[in-house]
Structure 1
Amino acid sequence: MDNKIIESIILTMNKHNDFWSLIMILAIVAGPILAVQIQKIIEKRNLEKEQKLYIFKTLMTNRATPTSPLRVEALNMIDFVFYEEEKVIDAWKLLFDHLKNDYPNSNNLTDTTKNPEYLKDFKSADEKTSELCTNLLYEMSKTLGYKFDKVSLKRSVYKPQGWELSENMTFNNLVNLSSILAGQKALSVEIKNEK
């Protein structure tokens, strides 16, 4: 390089020394502050993603147990965790409205087991719940970057027959106990004389 060019660069740097000093001071002061702010933004995004994944995984793993407390808790978290995801919120609103309004109402458990129309309406509501849950999971999966199809989400569920049997027995026991306590059924007592 020519000496005149080097001298010109040095002279220019000396003239702008105050400017570069100011830039250096700003970088020293602002650098750590910006780094902390960027770290906070990254942590917030990671936390939001973890919360969304928790809800999605909880709903996926509890598809076969619609009354699971974990599932109900996850459903109730959707509004504030997925608040920016319009399609997820819309799918949740449809499901929530259905759960609150479309199931047949019965104040007396004993009436439900004897009324075929009630059982038919209940089964129909359950089928619609399954469809709406599938749509909700599908929208969540798209938001989270998973590639599930609706058929897989609906059909790829394992529920042991023992669970079904246990749930039915529990329900029947509650119905019978409710009938006894309401005075609609008698509790038979047998006294045995053992010798």
Structure 2
Amino acid sequence: MSNLQLITLVAILAGPVLAVLVQLLAERRKIVREHQAATFRLLVSTRHLPSDPTYSTAINMTPVDFNGVGSVMAAHQGYIETITYQATPENVVAHEKQMISKQTKLIFEMAKHLGYDLSETDIQTTAYAAGGFVQRDNLMLRAWEAWPRIAEALESQVELSAPEEKKKLRKGAS
């Protein structure tokens, strides 16, 4: 077998294998990018609604979907460190500003990695939440805050009426 025949045989066998490998790599990159874009979209769409469960999902999926993207992972780590810090009453306002700054940095790094043309200022100033949704959310928060007071009031009413109820039960048994 001559060198030309050997090269032809190797090309015939290796060509399809190489084509499949290239296709698999391209498909993997496409899937990774789709996951990254989905996480980015979730985070961008809920960035002014951190109580939304979707927001938490996006934050928690960031290390999975952006694993190996150093700038995003560093921004994520900075954001996590900031949100887990318990602010004292004196520095609540400064802490909230820092959380917003770290969140913006995280979103900006994701956008930059994905090739979106968004500035950090755009990220901070262009979010929209429907007024009705915000009102509903605030009403729900006030209601949840009221539940302990309601429970305490009901418990105190039961405690006050309990002796009278016991007397009525005793009279009825006699």
Return the TM-score normalized by structure 1: 0.73
Question: Residues 32 and 59 (structure 1 numbering): CA distance in 2 closer, same or farther, change over 3 Å?
Answer: same
1:85 aligned partner, one-letter code: V
Within 5 Å, give how 1:108-123 maps onto structure 2: 117=89, 121=92, 123=93
Match 2:116 to one of 123, 146, 164: 146
Larger mean CA deviation between 151-160 and 17-26 belongs to 17-26
Task: Indicate yes or no: 2:147 matched with 1:177.
Answer: yes
Map Cα deviations across residues 48-83 of structure 1 (whole Å, 9 max, x no partner): 111111111111111221121111111111112212
Kindly indicate which of the two structures has a greater share of residues assigned to helix: 2
Aligned residues: 157
Identify unmatched segments of 5+ residues in structure 2: 158-174
Equivalent position SS for 2:2: helix
Aligned to 2:170: none
For residues 103 and 83 of structure 1, what CA distance do their matches in structure 2 show? 29
Larger mean CA deviation between 135-144 and 172-181 belongs to 172-181
Q: Alignment identity in percent?
A: 24
Task: Indicate yes or no: 2:64 matched with 1:80.
Answer: yes
Map Cα deviations across residues 29-52 of structure 1 (whole Å, 9 max, x no partner): 111111111111111111111111
Task: Indicate yes or no: 2:7 matched with 1:23.
Answer: yes
Identify unmatched segments of 5+ residues in structure 1: 1-16, 105-116, 190-195
Aligned to 1:134: 104
Aligned to 2:161: none
For residues 36 and 178 of structure 1, what CA distance do their matches in structure 2 show? 62
Return the TM-score normalized by structure 2: 0.81
Aligned to 2:131: 161
Within 5 Å, give how 1:40-51 maps onto structure 2: 40-51=24-35
Give the greater-gyration-radius structure (CA).
1
1:134 aligned partner, one-letter code: T
For residues 162 and 89 of structure 1, what CA distance do their matches in structure 2 show? 35
1:69 aligned partner, one-letter code: P
Aligned to 1:33: 17
